[in-house]
Structure 1
Amino acid sequence: MKLQCDVEVVNRMLPTYGMRSRGKGARAVLSIGRHVDKTSQRSNIYMMICTAKDRAGSKYKLKDNIEKFFTWFVEEGKATVRLKEPAVDVCLSKADANSLKNFLSAARLADRGSDSSSLPLSTLTPVRARDVEQPKKKMTIVSKKDYPLTSNFPYSLEQLQVSYCKLSRVDMRMLSLKALRKLDLSNNHIKQLPATIGDLGCLSELVLHNNHLETFSDALCLSTLQRTLQLLDLSQNRLKYFPPHFCQLRELVNLKLDDNALVCLPSHAGRLQKLRFLSAAHNQLTVLPGDFRKLSLENLDLFGNPFIQANPLDHEMQLTFPLSLQEMASRAVANLRIPYGPHLVSAHLCRDLDRAKTCDCGCVCVNFFIKTAVSMNLHQVSHTVVLVDDMGGTDAPVQRFFCSLSCYSEFLDNSLQRGIR
């Protein structure tokens, strides 16, 4: 029986001499096995602890020698074994919870003197240096020749950068790194992202700068990334649109979309309430979504987009009289916030409801509306604004939707009155 974890051996007599333990564990391999005592020539079950400084290991007898087990935090990979002789506490941490439970069970059986045939014993031999190294948390690969082809990535990785390796797809071995917090795959040739990236339950930063992405999967927007992803860098790709549920990534703080082929930003951008940094320079944006007005940013960069000249009198009419029954039903579902999904209504109705627009009056319109654009000073949504064009402007057109002629007429009247004043 072997266990890899951090270990601190605390002598309980230290306070008697006015001394304290250093309070820091070292990476170690613990083994339970049989050893012959040179003095008594008797064979007993021992626990051996090997560290980088003591690879030969220190042995502690187990039979009738364990005073107590402390296992309150065993599910977190922590436990303490209190020995009678010598008077030490063996403090274990950063262990796999299941492996730790099995190790403690074996130690308990050894303490009770159980038949050795029922114990999963190991050979008590010195360990290799790599067995007691601290788990690797960060790896950077910036050359194709350094890319691992036969070995796996260390499972303990929290940060992984693989750049300039000409990857055409995401290596599935990366998707088994459950502790990964930052994944940087910039400067490769990746065309598509697997939905299983969403299974990386700790991922807070995803950098895909300078790849060949043409789409961003809707499945990723509905994965665990909703709760973890804070930085997303999709700059210098080939994106034109975003999936309907993109704004479900509500933990986003920093979003980089520069140098793509975007013709529009996510229609429900206002739902990204934690977003503070947004850059979408050098795209094909002609107008911003109406929900954009709800953002509260610290820095905004929209330079180099072909924005139209906003004129509220120029409008697009998509209304019928009377409204279709489907439009009336869809509006009722949205306005009353009735739950919906593919298990309740057909998929195309779900897509329509996901793209619903909000009128100035607060009501929702789905497929029938009047659309126009008004000019907005971007300082209304961001503390710092990069100039929109070479002329020094910070205004950009924002879409406005109206559910009826009366709402549109009221908007024009109010606009006229403000202009007169």
Structure 2
Amino acid sequence: MATGCFQWGPPERLVESKSIKEALEKPEEVQFLNLHNSGLIEVPSEVAQLRGLIKLGLRKNSITQVSPLVADLKALEWIDLGQNKILELGLELGQLDKLETIYLSDNTLRVFPSVLCTMKQVTYVNLDRNQIESLPDNISGMESLKWLRLNANKLKALPDTVCDLANLQRLYVEKNELETLPGRIGKLKSLTDLVAGNNKIKALPETITGINSLKRVNLENNQLAELPADLSGWRGLDWMQLRGNQFSDDEKKRIKEALPECFIVF
């Protein structure tokens, strides 16, 4: 199963261990601990001894919560907790000032972890395939966030404060229950990729075509009958997926004429 948009494996320069036993033979040296598919039900307590750890891979286990000991890993920049059984996230990750990349896909989270909203340095969060129903208003606290993945959750709406994520480049919210997008979405001036297919979106905010940075848009399998009247702001688009909507032939023609350089799929 794909783990997201970033390469999962570590760069070759990192000193990697694939077991706790191996890591404890050189605790001062190990930088990447890969415990993928190791039958774990909790984070091993010995992890706290690896103070130089930069990457921690715990994907595909049966972990239900993150141990407070993880807060001791002050050098940690990357953590993969995908494909576990995590119901909620405590405050531990919020104590890691260098942590930038967080994978939490394929868990059983029902609530967006509030601790993430306090982490100004985080650039990438993957929460695909959980059961999250809403996002907190203070999500705007993630000031450095560039990529946000929330595919296949139970979102019915996005808060307007998502539009305050000034550095957001990629937003993935396909396979949810969205009926609209935030009215202020045009504020996302760094956005290059918007993936919102397989929702229930009936209309787009007029402001969305003010995002001149957009290169790729996926709105397939929604309930759209038209796009905003002014499409001039999207002339930089390279690709747009619109199949599975309700566009008339006249509207399809208008869109194609307005965006002659864009590859469009109806």
TM class by shorter chain equals 0.5 to 0.7
The residue that corresponds to 1:188 in the other structure is 107
Match of 1:141 among 49, 55, 58: 58
Q: How many residues align?
A: 206
CA contact (8 A) 1:301 1:388 kept: no
Q: CA deviation at 1:391?
A: 8.9
Q: CA deviation at 1:195?
A: 2.9
Q: Deviations over 1:356-390 (max 9, x none)?
A: xxxxxxxxxxxxxxxxx648599646221123338
User: In the aligned structure 2, how far is the partner of 1:245 from the partner of 1:151?
Assistant: 30
Identify if the C-alpha distance between structure 1 residues 130 and 386 changes in structure 2 by more than 3 Å, giving closer, same or farther.
Answer: same
Q: Does 1:385 align with 2:253?
A: no
The residue that corresponds to 2:123 in the other structure is 204
User: In the aligned structure 2, how far is the partner of 1:229 from the partner of 1:386?
Assistant: 25
User: In the aligned structure 2, how far is the partner of 1:396 from the partner of 1:290?
Assistant: 19
SS of alignment partner, residue 144 of structure 1: coil
Q: CA deviation at 1:245?
A: 1.8
CA contact (8 A) 2:211 2:234 kept: no
The residue that corresponds to 2:138 in the other structure is 219
1:26-37 aligned at under 5 Å gives the runs none
CA contact (8 A) 1:376 1:396 kept: no
Q: CA deviation at 1:129?
A: 4.0
SS of alignment partner, residue 130 of structure 1: coil
Structure 2 unmatched ranges of 5 or more: 1-24, 32-51, 256-266
Match of 1:166 among 71, 85, 88: 85
Code of the aligned partner of 1:144: N
SS of alignment partner, residue 255 of structure 1: strand
Identify if the C-alpha distance between structure 1 residues 268 and 305 changes in structure 2 by more than 3 Å, giving closer, same or farther.
Answer: same
SS of alignment partner, residue 210 of structure 1: coil
Q: CA deviation at 1:191?
A: 1.0
Structure 1 unmatched ranges of 5 or more: 1-127, 311-372, 399-421
Q: CA deviation at 1:170?
A: 1.6
SS of alignment partner, residue 148 of structure 2: strand
Code of the aligned partner of 2:132: L
CA contact (8 A) 1:270 1:293 kept: yes
The residue that corresponds to 1:305 in the other structure is 222
Q: CA deviation at 1:180?
A: 0.5
The residue that corresponds to 1:264 in the other structure is 180
Identify if the C-alpha distance between structure 1 residues 378 and 248 changes in structure 2 by more than 3 Å, giving closer, same or farther.
Answer: closer
Q: Specify the structure having the higher radius of gyration (Cα).
A: 1
Q: Does 1:291 align with 2:188?
A: no
User: In the aligned structure 2, how far is the partner of 1:391 from the partner of 1:194?
Assistant: 36
In angstroms, what is the RMSD of aligned CA positions?
3.1
The residue that corresponds to 1:121 in the other structure is none
Q: Deviations over 1:283-323 (max 9, x none)?
A: 0001100101101211111111111357xxxxxxxxxxxxx
Identify if the C-alpha distance between structure 1 residues 256 and 138 changes in structure 2 by more than 3 Å, giving closer, same or farther.
Answer: same
User: In the aligned structure 2, how far is the partner of 1:285 from the partner of 1:397?
Assistant: 20
CA contact (8 A) 2:224 2:245 kept: no
User: In the aligned structure 1, how far is the partner of 2:253 from the partner of 2:184?
Assistant: 17
Code of the aligned partner of 2:59: V
CA contact (8 A) 1:376 1:395 kept: no
Q: Deviations over 1:60-111 (max 9, x none)?
A: xxxxxxxxxxxxxxxxxxxxxxxxxxxxxxxxxxxxxxxxxxxxxxxxxxxx
Q: CA deviation at 1:267?
A: 0.7
User: In the aligned structure 1, how far is the partner of 2:253 from the partner of 2:80?
Assistant: 36
Q: Does 1:232 align with 2:148?
A: yes
Q: CA deviation at 1:138?
A: 1.0
Code of the aligned partner of 1:305: N
Match of 2:27 among 114, 119, 130: 130
Report the identity percentage: 20
TM-score w.r.t. the length of structure 1 is: 0.44
CA contact (8 A) 1:375 1:395 kept: no
CA contact (8 A) 1:377 1:396 kept: no
User: In the aligned structure 2, how far is the partner of 1:397 from the partner of 1:262?
Assistant: 26
Q: Does 1:280 align with 2:196?
A: yes
